[in-house]
Amino acid sequence: MVKVKKRVGRIEEYVESKIIAGVKKAGATAEEATQVAKEVAEKVAHKGEVSAEELSTLVVTSLRKVNKKASEEFVKFRDDKLKAKKKK
């Protein structure tokens, strides 16, 4: 099972449903979100661990292929979330 190293250093299991939920929040359809999650899962399947940053980049790259506007929203949401965490 692939592990995700979060930005704060915590290690979590890779959960495909989290990718689907985040992509849908960005404005993608359920079908697009599932397609993105499957593509990302295939790319990280051979890795033991992936960083949250790398995972995010993979999601954006895959999402851009199927829904450019949603990929822009995903990046905006991610960047806003990072700024908020830095203020804490």
Give the CA-trace dihedral at 40, 77, 72, 4, to 10 degrees.
-20
What are the pLDDT digits (tens) for 18-74?
999 999 999 999 999 999 999 999 999 999 999 999 999 999 999 999 999 999 999
d(C-alpha 16, C-alpha 73), whole Å = 19
Residues 36, 72 contacting (CB under 8 angstroms): no
Dist CA 17 CA 73 (whole Å): 19
**Per-residue pLDDT at 8:** 87
**Which 3 state secondary structure label does DSSP give 51?**
strand
Interval 41-51: pLDDT, tens: 999 999 999 99
Where does the chain show beta strands of DSSP type E? Answer: 3-5, 11-13, 49-51
